[in-house]
Structure 1
Amino acid sequence: MLLKSLKLSNFRQFRNEEVQFSTDSDKNVTIIIGENGTGKTTFSQAFFWCLYGDVDFKDKSMLNKIVASELTPDKSATVKVILSLIHAGTEYEIIREQVYKINYSGKLKGLNSTLNIQYKKNGQQEFLKPLEIEPRIKEILPKELSKYFFFDGERIEKMSKEIQSGRKSYEFAQAVRGLLGLSAFISALEHLKPTSKGVIGSYENSYDAKSNINIARYTDEIDKYKTQLEKIENRLKEIENEILKSEDRKKELEKIIQKYAEGEKLQNQKKNLINKRSSTLNSKRITIDKLLREFNDKASSYFARSMIKKSLEILGNGDFTNKDIPEMHAKTIDFLIKKGTCLCGTPLEVGSKEYNNILSLLQYLPPQSIGIAVGQFIKESQMRAKTSRDLFESYSSTLAVIEEQNDTIAAYDNEISLIEKNLVGIESVAPYQSELQICEKVIRDRTREKDELIEQRGSITTKKERANTERQALTLRDETNKKIEIYKAYAQYMYDEIKKVYKENENFTRKKLEDTINNIFKDIYQGGLSLTIDENYNIAVLVDDYEQFSNVETSTAQSIAVIFAFISGIIKMARESNTSNDERVKMLASEPYPLVMDAPLSAFDKRRIESVCKALPNIAEQVIIFIKDTDGDLAKEHMGEKIGKQYRFDKLNEFETVLN
């Protein structure tokens, strides 16, 4: 993309101004010089307003103040910005207009802005249809990345922190992938994906249920599960965003609170108590686990204790001593009874006194000797009683420890609560402490909700897969549905293969981007730091000699160098892809982009300004710089031979600036 010109009519302090940007490949730099307050930022914001209808100004009225003051209720004034550019070989003229009127009470009102795009086709001027405009703007330059190509040096540190923190949206990563030449893969995957709008999804909804009514039932179930999963995924993204925002704000609040001596002291005490409470809580969990394991192993002895005690009391009242007959066995008595005669010769007639006496001896003889059995039972019972008594004492001791731990935790909770009240009581800290507690509650609540949703997602996914398996078994029995199943399998195969190739190319591209931005970063910021890029295009800053130290705190100059290297790397790769002989690079060829910067050099020292000025023209196909007078001489000194166009802002008054 090459920017040809920008024309402003009644846009804030610019009544009727136009800039023609240099499109010369050898002299590809345009410099616009002006002091603070002359309109550099306003002019750069005109790009945003023209493309997206949005600006960063608090005052959203775009109409020049002088023109607004001359309005009467029967008149109107129009703000217009025309951006001319070349994209993918086509010349575009993007025109945004907004009409302003003043009512009889003197209040200025702007109507909704209108956007039109005209382009040249076969030498003829044509206009895009209304529904084609937004997709074409997104194709030319996604809004998610616009502020990185038209970036403001005064806001650059915030942008750098955003890239490094991983707080960007999914759309940002997709936009970067598109700019790096991965759009074809992304479009193919979007076309095939298994959703209602994709090819695979369309096959899902085309089964003929006439052959088996259960096909429709399973399809309805699968659609229901898909809807539930989609809701869960959307909510998980929302939760993640809420947690990240709360964590960011929590860190900010903790820093604010710690600025105050008393607040810092109390905050440290609170953290110490929280750590102690956590340690005690963990010890309590270990103690309870030990108690439960011991209870599971020995609970039977404990619950039998009362029965053993009663049995011993009963046995203690009986006399079982000296009743066993030594060396005599029950078989001997059986022999005598069958013989009918005692050893002494006395007849043993059934029912006689002698017969009954000898029969009673059986209970005292082995193997049914009650004395021996009772003795063994008493001995074992006493051992079990002792074990259960020891177990009871162990339980009592462990429960006492748990109770003590509960008291300790309660004491910590009380101390933490008192500290929080004291923090609220400190006037300068009070609102921050209250907000901090809200942030902590949000983090706890959303984390709990996230865990519950992940569990639900697993359960629903299992049900969906089961229903899909059942439906597939039914569809394969019918020729029409069998064909659909085969078509869907082909589409799924294509989807998986493209996704695989896409992943390989994306990894290659991301690694190349990482190498490219590191080369640029080290040229601008010489100092022992390097950058890494993860799969979501988040940047981490590493200390070269100590790689374990990632995401180190960066200075303003380092932050500017980080974001500058990131965007410059994308621009350089896009530019080089059109001339590379590497097949993989050529396959990923994308449109080169300009670099438009507002006050980019302010945070750098003279040495780094020189490095930046020398690097810029070689990285981007087109460079446009809005710069202060104080930095202008340095920029001209180091980029003199590359400067194709040069302008200066002249401030006529507070409400009007002209270009010379």
Structure 2
Amino acid sequence: MIIKKLTVTNFRQFKGEQTINFSQNPDKNITLILGDNTSGKTTLLQAFLWAFYGVANFKSKDSLLNAEISQELSKSFESSKVSVAIELDHEGTYYHLIRQQKYYYKNGSVVSDTYSTPSLTTKENGQIKSFKQYQVENKLEEILPKDLSIYFLYDTERFGNITSRADVTKSVKAILGLTVLDNMIKHLGSTTRSGTVLNQFSSSVKDEGDKNRQNIFDKLKELETLHTHTENRKTEKKSELEYFNDIITKKRNILYELEKVSQLQKEKERKVVQIESGKKALQNSLRSYKDFFKSSPISFISYNLCKRAINELSTAKLDKKSIQGMNATAIRDIIERGSCVCGTAISKGDIHYEHLLEEIRYLPPQSIGTLMNNFKQQAETHLNFAESYFLSLETHYKQIIFHNMNIGELEDEIHSINEEISGEDNVSMHQADLLGAEQKAKSITEDIEQLNQTLGELKKTIKDEEEKYDQSIQSSAKNDEILLYLEYAKNILDWVVNRRDTKEHEIKSQLEKQVNYYFEKMYHGKRKVEIDDKFRVNLITTDLSNDIQTDESQGLETVKNFAFISGLVHLAKQKLADDYEKNAEAYPLILDAPFSNADEKHVKNISEVLPNVANQLILIVMAKDWNYAKDSLVDKVGTEYYLNKQSEIFTEIIGVDSNV
């Protein structure tokens, strides 16, 4: 998008009709607008917002109508209007936008119409075409979505940290073309979501007496509704968690600033980390204990029984002359055969015969002692294994006791630190707020984990029911064609979801790389940028042994914002050259007071980057701030204006012919 012209009429301090023609020269792509404080710099930026969206973000709630014109109306009893007109090119098409609001004298005061009225025209084949009133708002949202306006109509002094806004994910997706894929996923939908492609195909399947199919369909619909409700609850919980995490961050920052409690707070956080580590170790020990116990539970149960049996048998007089495994029947067989297994002849009355008879006395079933001796040997063998098992089980249990005691000691130490911190002047209130927010965040985190578990179960149940439904509708030959379309639609949905997820990951990596590239050019310290899954930007200090996230000053926040915007604009321009998802547009940057929070060195660094990133750069700045950037930007200025403040209620826009 390229902005050609802005015309304001009776808009705040800009009395009468006043016009700015913006530079369209790619080699001199800067339009410079200089002005002192209260001369109307911010008013110009708000004029763009009002023209596009009908809203203006002024600190005061005064009328948009110029005060002198308003005073004249109260005397003449006539009417007047406020208007803002913008001429621009978007995707190769010319547009002319005019928004106006009528003011008139009534019952002793000047009042306005309730709503401002926008009109939009374009040119097609040299012919002017007007959009119908109901089409205008949608077309303006298509040209410059309101969610994106903060990134391209940027007020440094008012908007703060744009990289942590709740809508940053939606905005980045829109700028870089991912919204197309999200919309495709919504359009394809599911078999039970009314109005979607899958639902329409599924509803077209002929039902020839299969009542079970309708029952499955109704159940699927209920499950989808419950799934959506659970997702919404999860989203609400995440928003709550972000809210309390913000409180935790703010309160921790406050406590860190208090010298008396700074070290205590850090010690507490270190112990919190140790507790989390200890809890993980405890879970591992519990799991190991259970697994080891399951390996031989009979050893645990029989340990004491074997011990008691052996103690009882140790006092009994047991024969130890028997041969293990031998019995009396075997001896009688040897006697009857007349020869031993070794070949020795056995005759009744000889010494060998007498020895065998003597041996029978010690063998079962005649000798209970032999049986008891055998049992004792088996019990001792089992007891040896059980003792080893018991010692190992005891070692696992001691680990559990150790981790529990360690966690308890750490929690007691944290409690002691909390009491010590709470006792300090000007600290107890912040500490109480912090503890409350931490407890709330912990509770919400547990709720989210439970919702995730519920969602997982619902997803499995829905998949099972979908399989049942698919089986039920495949029974009719008449539905073959629709089933084919349905299968195609499902495969397309799978492809689009995979495409969206892949592209989102790629773009996050590319954006982080590009923002870091511009941040290194703008910043003169040792920090880097990390972008999370929601496209929010965190600054990390890199001059320590471990990278840590740190607080940001206003100047550093400004540098980070510009690096983020530069990375977005760079990727949006690159997106236009790609052959996929054609929903990206290069936007101009309109910056109000861009250098007010940055020091001289950062101003120069930023100035060397911005003109090379944006196709069109409109700077609304104070002369003193321009002096820092002048050397870097002077050769890029194509058009210059000066806001000549003649009174508190009248500023004249004056074009400057010569270069700055």
TM-score when normalising by structure 1: 0.75
Q: Is the 8 A contact 1:324 1:371 kept in 2?
A: no
Report the secondary structure of 2:204's partner residue: coil
Q: Does 1:90 align with 2:94?
A: yes
Instruction: Write out per-residue CA displacement over residues 363-418 of structure 1, whole angstroms, 9 at most, x where no aligned residue.
Output: 86446531211223345446767877888788789867866765554444333223
Instruction: Tell me how far 1:486 sits from its aligned partner.
Output: 0.9
Match of 2:40?
A: 39
Q: Work out whether residues 517 and 568 of structure 1, in 8 Å CA contact, stay in contact via their aligned partners in 2.
A: yes
Query: For residues 204 and 439 of structure 2, what CA distance do their matches in structure 1 show?
Result: 47
CA distance in 1, matches of 2:309, 2:607: 99
> Aligned-pair distance for 1:650?
0.4
Structural mapping, 1:136-535, within 5 Å: 136-155=139-158, 158-159=161-162, 161-162=163-164, 168-178=167-177, 188=184, 190-194=186-190, 195-275=193-273, 277-278=275-276, 281=279, 284-285=282-283, 288=286, 292=290, 295-296=293-294, 299-304=297-302, 329-330=328-329, 365-366=363-364, 369-381=367-379, 406=404, 409-496=407-494, 524=522
Q: Residue 3 in 1 paired to residue 13 in 2?
A: no
Matching residue within 589, 596, 600 for 1:602: 596
The equivalences for 1:628-639 within 5 A come to 628-632=622-626, 638-639=633-634
Q: Structure 1 residue 620: deviation in Å?
A: 3.5
Which range moved further: 242-251 or 60-69?
A: 60-69
5 Å-filtered alignment, 1:584-595, equals 584=578, 588=582, 590-595=584-589
Residue 86 of structure 2 aligns to a residue whose secondary structure is: strand
Superposed displacement of residue 434, structure 1: 1.8
Matched letter for residue 427 of structure 1: D
Q: Indicate the residue corresponding to 1:642 in structure 2.
A: 637
Gaps of 5+ in 1: 338-342, 345-360
C-alpha contact (below 8 Å) 1:363/1:370 kept by paired residues: no
Could you tell me how far apart the structure 1 residues matched to 2:455 and 2:585 are?
40
CA RMSD of aligned residues (A): 5.0
Counterpart of 2:619 in structure 1: which amino acid?
Answer: I
Distance 1:331 1:57, change over 3 A: same
Q: Residue 7 of structure 1 contacts residue 16 of structure 1 at CA under 8 Å; is this kept in 2?
A: no
Count of residue correspondences: 623
Please, which moves more after superposition, 597-606 or 110-119?
A: 110-119
Kindly indicate whether the alpha-carbon contact (under 8 Å) linking 1:150 and 1:597 is maintained by their aligned counterparts in 2. yes
Name the SS for the 1:83 alignment partner: strand
Contact conserved, 1:11 with 1:62, CA < 8 A, in 2?
Answer: no
Counterpart in the other structure of 1:19: 19
Which region of structure 1 is more displaced relative to structure 2, 539-548 or 611-620?
539-548
Secondary structure, counterpart of 1:205 in structure 2: helix
Q: 1:119 aligns with which of 118, 121, 133?
A: 121
Deviates further, 88-97 or 567-576? 567-576
Alpha-carbon separation, structure 2, partners of 1:71 and 1:517: 52
Shift in Å at residue 597 of structure 1?
A: 0.7
Structure 1: how far apart are the matches of 2:201 and 2:94? 37
- Secondary structure of 1:469's counterpart equals helix
Inter-CA distance 642–587: structure 2 relative to 1 (3 Å threshold): farther
How far 1:463 moved relative to its partner? 1.7
Q: Which amino acid aligns with 1:470?
A: K
- Return the alpha-carbon distance in structure 1 between the equivalents of residues 522 and 176 of structure 2: 25
Percent of aligned positions that are identical: 24
Q: 1-side partners of 2:460 and 2:111: how far apart?
A: 56
Counterpart code for 1:172: S
Give the direction of change, closer, same or farther, for the CA distance of 1:112–1:329 in structure 2 (3 Å limit). Answer: same
> Deviation at 1:489?
2.0
Distance 1:422 1:30, change over 3 A: same
CA distance in 1, matches of 2:509, 2:401: 57
1:262 maps to a residue whose letter is: K
Contact 1:600 1:627 in 2 (8 A): yes
SS of residue in 2 equivalent to 1:32? strand
Task: Please tell me the residue identity of whatever aligns with 1:35.
Answer: D
1:222-241 CA distance string (max 9 Å, x none): 22222233233333333334
Alpha carbons 2:213, 2:469 under 8 Å: kept: yes
- 1-side partners of 2:334 and 2:226: how far apart? 84
Report if the CA contact (8 A) 1:321-1:371 is conserved.
yes
| Residues 625 and 307 (structure 1), Cα distance of their counterparts in 2 relative to 1, 3 Å cut | closer
TM-score normalized by the length of structure 2: 0.75
**Distance (whole Å) between structure 1 residues aligned to residue 484 and residue 595 of structure 2:** 60
Which residue identity lines up with residue 148 of structure 1 in the other structure? Answer: Y
Farther-moved stretch of structure 1 (211-220 vs 555-564): 555-564
Question: Is 1:652 the equivalent of 2:647?
Answer: yes
Deviation string 1:473-513 (CA, Å, 9 cap, x unpaired) is: 22222133322211122333444556677778878877887
Say whether the 8 Å CA contact 2:11–2:83 is kept in structure 1. Answer: yes
CA distance in 1 between counterparts of 2:54 and 2:238 reads 29
Conserved? CA contact 1:173–1:536, under 8 Å:
no
- Kept in 2, the 8 Å contact 1:24–1:644? The answer is no
Amino acid at match of 1:95: R
Question: Counterpart of 1:85 in 2: which secondary structure?
Answer: strand
